[in-house]
């Protein structure tokens, strides 16, 4: 899938980007000719470089001779067209993981969310089109919050999906597709690391509302969705994993276990949804079954000409449906080593890298 290709991960120093990098450079697939990580944070890039220097399989490849090595780091921002145009030269596959993703932050700074989540993808498409670049595939990373959005983060991600879908009309030589999924377990800024810290501090655990539910998948599962879309998605499709969901109250109680820690209900945060939706009722008419995934055909009819559609959902796909029991949730957390006290701090940090 990657042999001889040049890959670019935009926003590659985040939780997802680092896991994607690890998977690409593992023996799971043929090695690419080059993997470029573009991000704004030089400190995170430095730390990521040091981590790979300490891995025996990568020591010979990842050194400070940056531009001549397999793993190359570039400082830059997806918001800046000139940076994007420069880094896309000779790139075959693009993964855009750059995002403003914290719901309250996007509510307080909505235009900043627009610049990263909408202008960023538009810069990619514009550069491919205007410079006639030979990029083969662009995969955009979206979120369940983009489905029937009620917050700025979801609204900008919904527009990102439309921008990427429409990119197929502008540059038909390049395939543009998206993946959409829910909360990634233990990713930076997500609920599980927050609950861990609150438990470590003696509580209370803060839950916004007792009814709240969320989809859950691991970082490696998130990468699996990306790889599935890269292998199988047709231009303009949105790939969605079939994943479990749970009540946040159950999550808090499972993590607390037998500890004497209180749960405090704080009220819904700005822009927060009670339940998440991965496929809306309207999108169900365009949704197809792809085994472990659903694929939503593009909304633009010109891109659906060669996609046979047999409706497989008769309602929305929501986190409120078929939530896990506490026992099932506990087993899921155990499988990822995410129960408090289950493993050493060193191992937990390795999991969260």
**Could you list the pLDDT tens digit for every one of the 353 residues in the chain?**
899 999 999 999 998 999 999 999 987 888 899 999 999 999 999 889 888 766 554 444 444 566 667 899 999 999 999 999 999 999 999 999 999 999 999 999 999 999 999 999 999 999 999 999 999 999 999 999 999 999 999 999 999 999 999 999 999 999 999 999 998 887 776 789 999 999 999 999 999 999 999 999 999 999 999 999 999 999 999 999 999 999 999 999 999 999 999 999 999 888 889 999 999 999 999 999 999 999 999 999 999 877 777 889 989 999 999 899 999 999 999 998 888 776 434 344 444 44
Judge whether 124 and 84 are in contact, CB under 8 Å.
Answer: yes
Give a yes or no: residue 125 inside a domain: yes
What CATH number corresponds to the domain at position 151? 3.40.50.720
Q: Give the torsion through C-alpha atoms of 145, 104, 82, 5, to 10 deg.
A: -40
- Residue 300 counted as domain residue: yes
Q: What is the three-class DSSP state of 179?
A: strand
Does 1 fall in a domain?
Answer: no
Q: 307 near 345, Cβ under 8 Å? A: no
Q: How many Cα atoms are found within 13 Å in the side-chain-facing hemisphere of 82? A: 0
238 in any annotated domain: yes
Q: Is residue 206 part of a domain?
A: yes
Range of the domain at 238: 6-352
Domain annotation covers residue 311: yes
Strand order in 213-217's β-sheet? 183-184, 213-217, 245-247
Using CA atoms, how far apart are residues 84 and 229, in angstroms rounded to an integer? Answer: 23
Tokens describing residue 179: 């993946």
- Overall pTM > 0.75: yes
Q: Which of 34, 145, 273, 330 is catalytic?
A: 145
Structure letter (DSSP) for residue 298: P
User: Would residue 302 count as lying in a domain?
Assistant: yes
Does any domain span residue 232?
yes
Q: What is the 3-state secondary structure (H, E, C) of 80-115?
A: CHHHHHHHCCCCCEEEECCCCCCHHHHHHCHHHHHH
CB neighbours of residue 87 within 10 Å: 21
Residue 153 to residue 269: CA distance in whole angstroms? 13
How many folded domains does the chain comprise? 1
Q: Which helix (H) or strand (E) holds 213?
A: strand 213-217
145 carries an active-site annotation: yes
């Amino acid at each position: 899938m990657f042999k001889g290709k040049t890959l670019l991960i935009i926003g590659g120093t985040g939780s997802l980007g680092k896991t994607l990098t690890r998977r690409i450079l593992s023996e799971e697939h043929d090695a690419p000719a080059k993997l470029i990580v573009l991000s704004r944070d030089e400190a995170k890039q430095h730390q990521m470089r040091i981590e790979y220097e300490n891995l025996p399989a990568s020591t010979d490849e990842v050194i400070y001779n940056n531009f001549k090595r397999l793993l190359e780091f570039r400082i830059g921002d997806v918001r800046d067209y000139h940076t994007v145009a420069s880094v896309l030269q000779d790139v075959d596959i693009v993964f855009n993981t750059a995002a403003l993703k914290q719901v309250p932050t996007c509510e307080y700074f909505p235009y900043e969310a627009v610049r990263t989540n909408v202008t960023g993808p538009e810069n990619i498409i514009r550069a491919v089109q205007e410079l006639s670049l030979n990029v083969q595939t662009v995969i955009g990373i979206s979120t369940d919050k983009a489905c029937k959005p009620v917050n700025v983060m979801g609204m900008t991600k919904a527009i990102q999906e439309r921008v990427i879908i429409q990119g197929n009309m502008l540059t038909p030589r390049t395939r543009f597709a998206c993946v959409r999924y829910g909360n990634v377990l233990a990713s930076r800024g997500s609920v599980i690391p927050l609950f861990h810290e609150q438990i470590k501090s003696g509580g209370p655990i803060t839950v916004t509302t007792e009814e709240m539910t969320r989809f859950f998948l691991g970082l490696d599962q998130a990468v699996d969705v990306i790889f599935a879309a890269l292998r199988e998605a047709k231009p303009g499709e949105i790939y969605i994993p079939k994943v479990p969901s749970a009540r946040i109250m159950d999550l808090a109680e499972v993590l607390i276990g037998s500890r004497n820690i209180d749960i405090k209900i704080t009220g819904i945060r700005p822009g927060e949804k009670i339940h998440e939706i991965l496929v809306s009722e309207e999108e169900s008419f365009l949704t197809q079954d792809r085994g472990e995934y659903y694929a939503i055909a593009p909304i633009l009819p010109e891109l659906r000409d060669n996609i046979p559609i047999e409706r497989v959902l008769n309602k929305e796909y929501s986190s409120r449906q078929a939530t896990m029991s506490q026992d099932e949730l506990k087993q899921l957390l155990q499988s990822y080593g995410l129960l408090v006290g289950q493993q050493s701090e060193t191992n937990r940090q390795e999991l969260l890298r």
